[in-house]
Amino acid sequence: MTRTFTRQDLAGQVPRSVFGMTFVQLAEQNENIVAVSPDLMISTRLAEFVRQYPYRFFETGVTEQATVGIAAGLAACGLTPFVCQYAPFVSMRSCEQVRTDIAYPNLNVKIIGTHAGMSPGAGGATHLSLEDIAILRAVPNLTILAPSDNVQTARAVRLAAAATGPVYVRLVRGSENSLDLYASEEDCPLEIGKAVTLHDGNDATILAAGHPAVQESFQAAELLERDGIHVRVLDMASVKPMDREAVVRAARETGAIITVEDHNILGGLGGAVAEVLAEECPTRMTRIGVPDTFVALGPSRALYDRYRIHAPAIARTVIEFLKKK
């Protein structure tokens, strides 16, 4: 039986490296697992898989749309292909193929979207994926997972492999905030369709998804605790399906909702939460993320600071929001 990972096993790794490590383990257990990538073997951390299983790797060159179509064909033949691409390209350049070739026939294809959000930094607007959740959330049959630390990344990749049907796993490029939220995969309670409570409180609730939004939100809650403000933090790693029950319960019990995401505030996590609240429990809420704009060039850390996706700014936003009651 393959040993699952602990935070010590994954210390110093970035999320896409954790994917690569987990993927090799999955391939050892399931010979139907294959990888497809458009000239991104190194960037998506497939090198060790390719070394061990060269005949289970399909290099398609820089043909992102064809890559998804090839994966659909492999899935139709009974294999479990993992498409490993940059998040902006698989969600936009390959959008029609994801929708029509994979999701429409509900094929068992797993999509690993790396370099998500603002994590590529100076890559600029073409290489930043601030629309991928909004786009893919509207595609039927597609599950979306956005893990928040290394342990949860490993857990999310295993959940994707075990699930039936298409799954999109959203991973950032680096690891600007190295906070470990979970001790081990065995102790990581992530399940598809369920939120995880990281910090309890009844004054307000922060709902966040992905790295670094969840880590910064957790640290913001700890800062607020020092000022006597008790904030609940929900890790919404399962963006779709969303844990509607947890969202409604948080709204009813705390009366104030703040969403945090490394994504445009239109159509992403904040939009999904707002839809749930509008339908089931209208509640005051505010969204932290990138406004309706293309971001400036700069290091990812500077971009996160600029758009308030860091603990002190999140804490200030919560305080200001609560004062408006």
Radius of gyration of the chain (CA): 19
- The model carries a pTM of 0.97
Q: Which CATH number applies to 186-323?
A: 3.40.50.920
Asked if residue 25 lies in contact with residue 5, where contact means CB atoms within 8 angstroms, the answer is: no
Taken in order 265, 266, 268, 272, is the CA torsion positive or negative?
positive
What is the rounded CA–CA span in Å between residue 124 and residue 143?
A: 27
The most distant pair of C-alpha atoms in the chain lies apart, rounded to whole Å, by: 61
Report which of 301, 312, 318 is spatially closest to residue 262, judged by C-alpha positions. Answer: 301
CB atoms within 10 A of CB 56: 17
Report which of 202, 204, 201, 219 is spatially closest to residue 284, judged by C-alpha positions. Answer: 204
CATH 3.30.56.10 assigned to domain 15-170? The reply is: no
pLDDT tens, residue order, the chain (325 aa):
568 999 999 998 999 999 999 999 999 999 999 999 999 999 999 999 999 999 999 999 999 999 999 999 999 999 999 999 999 999 999 999 999 999 999 999 999 999 999 999 988 899 999 999 999 999 999 999 999 999 999 999 999 999 999 999 999 998 655 688 999 999 999 999 999 999 999 999 999 999 999 999 999 999 999 999 999 999 999 999 999 999 999 999 999 999 999 999 999 999 999 999 999 999 999 999 999 999 988 999 999 999 999 999 999 999 999 998 7
CATH topology identical between 15-170 and 186-323: yes
Question: What does the domain layout of the chain look like in residue ranges?
Answer: 15-170, 186-323
Strand partners, 170: 113
